[in-house]
Structure 1
Amino acid sequence: MLEPDSTTASTSLGEEILVPPPKQKRSSVACRRCRRLRAKCVKDEEKGRCRGCIEAGVPNECQFLPRGMSAIDRAPRPPQNRKRQTRPKDLDGGHRADGYDGAKAGPLTPQSPVERFCENCSQSLTSKSFSHQDLLPPHEELVEACEWFFSTYFQLGFLHKPTFMHTLQTSPQSLSTFLLLSMLSVSARFTPTLIQRFSTPVNAANTFAKRAQSLVGQEMLAAASLDRAQAFFLCSIWNWGSGFRDRSWIFLGIAARMASVLHLSQEESFDLGPDATVEQIINAEVSRRTWWVIFMSDNLLSSGCGRPISFDLDKVTIPLPCDEDHFTFGYNGPATVMEGTHARPRLAPQSRFPIDPQLSSEIADTSSTNANGGDRSLYGNLVVIADIWARVARGALLRSKAGPTIAPWRSDSDYVKLATELQNWESKLTNRQTWSLSNLLAYQSKSLDLGYRCIFLIMHLSHIVLRRSYLPMMARDVHASTINPPNYRSEVAPPRFWENVVHEMFAHALKVIELVKDWVPTMPFTRGSTPMMGFAIYMSGSVLSYLKRWTWLCPPLAEYSGPAIQEALTLLLELAVVWPTMAERWHSSLKDASFAFPPRHENPHRQVEGFGSAAEEDLSTDDREGMYRHKYRGSLEEAGDQEEVSLDESAMQEDAKRPRPRQPIPLPDGVPKEETSPIPHGADMLYSLATAASHIQPPAPSGGVPFTNGAPNGSVPATWVNYQEDLVTLFNKDDLSSHLEYSGDGWAF
């Protein structure tokens, strides 16, 4: 007989009737696991868990969210969870990355801990045992790679090395995996153990770059934080060096927005009182340096492609980075400010330095306690010279589109303003900051030589590009002065102005190649280098190719142009070992330019016209491809691993075959063709040298390369050939204009 308390009930007359079991109802709110699995959720009120989780043996995963929070589980899952089954067999070509503890992990299979299946519902589950730390190399290799990060790229960096390395050794789980992977995308190419593991420097860097970018989705949507801003900035660095200009711009934009959300450019957000601890001082300086490095990179990247900068200096209230020793010891020492900001110089505290008495006495004995916050730090000089370079590059791109609107010799021109600013910047360098071998060795002993070198490379690069942007105007000036029209210009250039311009440009270009050539034996590119170093080499060789083709531009330096270009090509090949995409592209472009020569004994008019056309074509290329020549990787799509480490040679060959239209060199409006009396003009000398170019055979180079730090100030080196006689010979000839004819290609005989 059935028990009354189970499936039967008694009526009022004592009769037993069969009662059906109670119908199971859905829980009013499904647990997170059942919602993800789209499964029916029946909650056991006594145990507080649903039956599905209990029967699956995962009661700890049964969680009921409050009403109104269910959208959390309906949100898209992170990419690595949603695409676990379609994930490539390996991120680096063979096996999955080693675990954080260094144990080798096998290939990804459905039975591995990372990917398994629920036997009850036959749906895939993501194991909780999988951690982003599994994307990192073994701990010993990770520590080595971080050491290389501080010594090979970011010597003047934004992370506090002693604190960071201590945390990495004692509590690595507390560090952001996204940040660590982004750091490795830069430093893996220099780390011997990682190069050995992944076969080549490029494969090592690309492996960790891919792993870092696999986390971009969830990191971008997370709350803004300092380590995320730093990581996105480093992702931008890898993309820039790999030729992905637009993607680099996007990552840098994310870092810039996070920096703005965190108010990193506002000194009042740090609230450092007189009793601030060393940790507070260090954290505040890390935040300042993070903002400055993002600002500097945004400035460099945007200026090279004609895009607006993301920041407004007028709203910045933080000073420039402090001295490296003060940063290392957590000392809130003096700091100068960036012109254009609303920051206040930070003066040295009155108290003695508590950690290093030697540094404290140094502060007291020097001028670093003056009202301006003392001398600029090495990092501060890098920020300032990079800002000057950015303005030089922007101006050059503008002139490539419309040409200069103000004569460069006028006091209100961009040329005079920027040239003066460069001279003032260099004049404010202290004895320890000027370029010398003794200073280089001293900074090398402190692992600061890479930053020291980059400062002077950018300075020389600024001088070169500033003058290069006026070469088409110089060619027009030289060409027009030979026609001698009436009232050609109410204002003429000062005597020998153009000769001084080209002499300084070529001298700075030779100096760049000389500097890099001298320091490579002591520190090869495989031990530390940046893509910006390669660009400086390329730009120097590019302008020297003008001098190699048209030696009359600067006869005293012409004999050095050929060997210097060959040295530049060799240096770019060496740099391509660690930064292949951009270095190979620059090498190919420079090689093509170095093999282009004008016809032998070419007519002087043709020589000037050819020089002007070549200069205009280079500026047009700046406008089309960007000054850094990111041409073939403008999109965000990747065509494969092989494309990431080699040039798109077919595209380059097609571009080389494409005919280059000759750019005419028009005369100013209203210039007639008839001959008039000569006008005293510095361009006459260049034209004279063009006439005599085929007769000048300079001796083979010997000794060092001559270099002048400033303008010749109206004087011309004694080695310039008898240009007065050439001028007399030239202008005593028959009417030149009678032999000229103007066509679509410009003036020609």
Structure 2
Amino acid sequence: MPDAFPSASSSSSSSSSSFPPHQEIVAGCRVFVSSYFQLGFLPKSIFLESVSRNLNTVSPFLLSCILSISARFTPCLVRRYGGSTLATENFLHMARAMAPSHMYRPTLDRTQAFFLLAISEWGDGERDRSSMDMGVAVRMASILKLHREETYALPPGAPAEQVIRAESARRTFWMIHSQENLQAGYSSPMPFPPEDITARLPCDEHAFAFGVHPAARSALPGTPPFRKEEEQQREKQRRREDEGTAMDIGDEQQQEEEEEEEEEAQQEQQNNNNNYQCLFASLIQAHNLWGHVARRACRSDLKSGGACPWEPESEYQVLTQQLQAFEASLPPRHRWSLWNLRGWREEQMHLAYLSMSMVLRVSAIVERRIYLDEILFSVNNPHGTVSPRTKTAPDGFWATMSAELFSNVLELYEQIEAFSAVRAVSRDGGGSGSSSGSEGFPAILVFCVYICGSLAAYLTRYPQLCPRVAGRAEEMSLRCLQVLGDLHKAWPTSTRWNQGLQQYAGPLAAVAAAAAAAAAAGGAGAGAGTAAGSGGSDSASSSGDGPLTPGDSSSASSILARASVSAYMDLSDGIHLSDVVDDAVIDPRLTAVSSSAQNNKAAHQQQQQQQQQQQQQQQQQQQGMAGGAGPFWKAHEGGPSHADAEAAFSNELFEAEMNTLLAGEPDFGWLDFERGGA
């Protein structure tokens, strides 16, 4: 072991600050590039070969930052350090100790290291540290001019090694840009304004691996190269129009032929664009759109002025059209389908594909979720004013938005089920593994599960929002709760999302589990068996046939969730969801829609509270009859307190909810929720 790499046997410090044996370092790096970091700035084969042959070829600082991410997913490292948390802390401790000596000398590998350190710290819940280290990476990238296309200019006939090195630098910039968008919020400005970015997007993985110059590269919308391409297209269109005006009537046939040729040329150009629009480029653009959605959702002045969402020039319409246009322009292999997921899994890029697909769905969901107050009010008061803050919307506007919202939730749920099936296959196949025996995954996927589960629970409480999807809402909320309970263990920062979803779907899960246990104790096993059987069939159909259908505990847990829902619906006569899941738990904003609405509901809420107290007693009795069987999501004894509910819900996406829940801690979560903004 080189002196630069303190080993567990040679280091005088504890094992919490030492590198493991060489073969375990290689295992951690392999997990990093094969699962968590499927699309990244490291040329996979070259990097793994270098690490395997000679550790001195890789910076110890960069290596410690890599392992601080992958250690939690690497079985041998988890065993060596006594758990995924301790394994992560070991390499975080090493990286932090080395960081000061690398901070003031900007190089590409140091930029990469600080970027990875920021990701690891953010995932570990160290949000302030993460922000500072990401700032160092951003500043280094700026000093190195990684956002400028001229930085990557190479002489004709440059060797493949130089091409790969330049592409690695380009990808480093775009990963920093992408991660900043994923962590976007109201008070986190864009580190690189679009007008300053001239760098084009990355090439595909094959060109990167072979060191080949791509025939063409796509550009990020809003950047100078993208605007230049748009202007060129407009200029061509103007020339065609001018030529058409000068033509005589007798030349109409020739004009039609030329128009057909032009259409064919445009179609060919579109096909070429699809060919050089690699998955990495699509992923970056999807994250960029999410950054716009997230920053908009966190604005405190979102509904206080400006155009109404149904007006063509409104921010809602503009951003919604951008999302739709981007999805429509995606190459066929980048669009969501189980077939494409199978293909990308064969290419070992399925997690990147899922990240792009799920982030797009979450963007479409959050963009509409902003108006959940208005949607619900409109559904319950079809002839009334939507809100004191808004004008009257066109007929059917809010109903259409609600249908679009929950259609996206349903599609996101299908993606979550597919993701769970892929993880099950990885476990069965002896994949790279994590602390729970499965491959690594980015934390954004955990956030997507939270968003899906919370809105499914909301629909369970208010099925009138979307009757078409409401029939599956309970199943979806319980399943997301179960999936999130498994996923959040790998990323401590997602613990609050898990707590938040427990506040949403936890009461429903408790009643469902108690009802299922009561059914078994009361001799209703046949009915429960039927429910489990139908749940298994549903699970298979939702995940698609073929290799993605899970056949292990993941499938069983999905069946358990569905069986609990079925038993709950069959056996809970007299128990209403309005008694189990309180309005303020589903969405705290409902308690602050308007002062007049609160006054009108005061008497009803008092009566409802009394009914809830009686219902809680009935639930406790049911659980006692069931032999003390707790819910499958392992809630703490006695259930969450009111203070816990406020803390969990303070990661809601909207300023109105923050005003209601300022008693909670506002500085955690995927988005940046600093009170009052910057």
TM-score per shorter chain, which class?
0.5 to 0.7
In structure 2, the partner of 1:497 is 397
Distance 1:488 1:471, change over 3 A: closer
Question: What letter corresponds to residue 590 of structure 1 in structure 2?
Answer: L
In structure 1, the partner of 2:503 is 592
Q: Which whole-Å CA distance do the structure 1 matches of 2:271 and 2:122 have between them?
A: 40
Distance 1:108 1:545, change over 3 A: closer
Question: What letter corresponds to residue 9 of structure 2 in structure 1?
Answer: K
In structure 2, the partner of 1:507 is 407
| 2:131 is aligned with 1:231 | no
Q: Which whole-Å CA distance do the structure 1 matches of 2:8 and 2:588 have between them?
A: 61
Q: Which whole-Å CA distance do the structure 2 matches of 1:148 and 1:489 have between them?
A: 51
Q: Which whole-Å CA distance do the structure 2 matches of 1:468 and 1:265 have between them?
A: 33
Structure with greater proportional helix content: 2
Deviations 1:13-50 (A, max 9, x none): xxxxxxxxxxxxxxxxxxxxxxxxxxxxxxxxxxxxxx
| 2:241 is aligned with 1:330 | no
Deviations 1:724-745 (A, max 9, x none): xxxxxxxxxxxxxxxxxxxxxx
In structure 2, the partner of 1:457 is 358
Deviations 1:344-398 (A, max 9, x none): 7999xxxxxxxxxxxxxxxxxx957988695411000001010111101111111
Distance 1:474 1:369, change over 3 A: closer
Distance 1:493 1:478, change over 3 A: same
Structure 1, 152-161 or 588-597: larger mean CA deviation: 588-597
Provide the aligned C-alpha RMSD in A: 4.0
1:343 aligned counterpart, secondary structure: helix
In structure 2, the partner of 1:677 is none
Residue 516 of structure 1: how far off its partner (Å): 1.8
In structure 2, the partner of 1:747 is none
Unaligned 5+ segments in structure 2 are 230-266, 425-433, 509-574, 594-634, 657-678
Contact 1:98 1:104 in 2 (8 A): no
Residue 461 of structure 1: how far off its partner (Å): 0.3
Structure 1, 422-431 or 476-485: larger mean CA deviation: 476-485
Question: What letter corresponds to residue 553 of structure 1 in structure 2?
Answer: L
1:543 to 450, 455, 478: 455
1:197 to 80, 98, 101: 80
In structure 2, the partner of 1:410 is 311
Residue 522 of structure 1: how far off its partner (Å): 2.6
In structure 2, the partner of 1:187 is 70
The TM-score with structure 2 as length reference comes to: 0.65
Residue 269 of structure 1: how far off its partner (Å): 2.1
Contact 1:502 1:553 in 2 (8 A): yes
Distance 1:617 1:429, change over 3 A: farther
Q: Which structure is richer in relative contact order (CA contacts within 8 A, separation 6 or more)?
A: 2
The TM-score with structure 1 as length reference comes to: 0.59
In structure 2, the partner of 1:735 is none
2:51 to 168, 177, 183: 168
Q: Which whole-Å CA distance do the structure 2 matches of 1:503 and 1:656 have between them?
A: 32
1:181 aligned counterpart, secondary structure: helix
Residue 564 of structure 1: how far off its partner (Å): 0.5
Contact 2:457 2:505 in 1 (8 A): yes
Equivalent residue runs for 1:235-274 within 5 Å: 235-274=117-156
Residue 509 of structure 1: how far off its partner (Å): 1.5
Residue 151 of structure 1: how far off its partner (Å): 0.9
1:523 aligned counterpart, secondary structure: helix
Distance 1:533 1:649, change over 3 A: farther
In structure 2, the partner of 1:522 is 422
Structure whose CA Rg is larger: 1
In structure 2, the partner of 1:583 is 494
Q: Which whole-Å CA distance do the structure 1 matches of 2:322 and 2:86 have between them?
A: 42
Deviations 1:186-208 (A, max 9, x none): 11111121111112222212211
Distance 1:602 1:657, change over 3 A: closer
Question: What letter corresponds to residue 656 of structure 1 in structure 2?
Answer: D
Contact 1:100 1:139 in 2 (8 A): no
Distance 1:376 1:404, change over 3 A: farther
Contact 1:317 1:342 in 2 (8 A): yes
Q: Which whole-Å CA distance do the structure 2 matches of 1:595 and 1:404 have between them?
A: 37
Distance 1:267 1:553, change over 3 A: same
Deviations 1:152-210 (A, max 9, x none): 11111011112222222333213110000000011111112111111222221221111
For these two proteins, the number of residue pairs brought into alignment is 492
Deviations 1:576-617 (A, max 9, x none): 3322x23332121111122569x96989xxx99998853587
Distance 1:483 1:468, change over 3 A: closer
In structure 2, the partner of 1:146 is 29
| 2:98 is aligned with 1:215 | yes
Contact 1:178 1:215 in 2 (8 A): yes
Contact 1:513 1:567 in 2 (8 A): no
Contact 2:7 2:18 in 1 (8 A): no
Q: Which whole-Å CA distance do the structure 2 matches of 1:616 and 1:507 have between them?
A: 26
| 2:261 is aligned with 1:379 | no
Q: Which whole-Å CA distance do the structure 1 matches of 2:457 and 2:380 have between them?
A: 21
Residue 297 of structure 1: how far off its partner (Å): 0.8
1:310 aligned counterpart, secondary structure: coil
Q: Which whole-Å CA distance do the structure 1 matches of 2:577 and 2:350 have between them?
A: 47
Give percent identity, aligned residues only: 32
Contact 2:458 2:587 in 1 (8 A): no
Distance 1:179 1:99, change over 3 A: closer
Contact 1:368 1:375 in 2 (8 A): no
Q: Which whole-Å CA distance do the structure 1 matches of 2:585 and 2:25 have between them?
A: 54
Distance 1:400 1:586, change over 3 A: farther
Contact 1:440 1:449 in 2 (8 A): yes
1:281 aligned counterpart, secondary structure: helix
Residue 419 of structure 1: how far off its partner (Å): 1.4
Question: What letter corresponds to residue 355 of structure 2 in structure 1?
Answer: C
Residue 402 of structure 1: how far off its partner (Å): 4.6
Residue 234 of structure 1: how far off its partner (Å): 0.5
Residue 453 of structure 1: how far off its partner (Å): 0.8
Contact 2:28 2:74 in 1 (8 A): yes
Unaligned 5+ segments in structure 1 are 1-95, 110-131, 348-365, 619-646, 666-749
Distance 1:204 1:572, change over 3 A: same
Contact 1:472 1:613 in 2 (8 A): no
Question: What letter corresponds to residue 172 of structure 1 in structure 2?
Answer: L
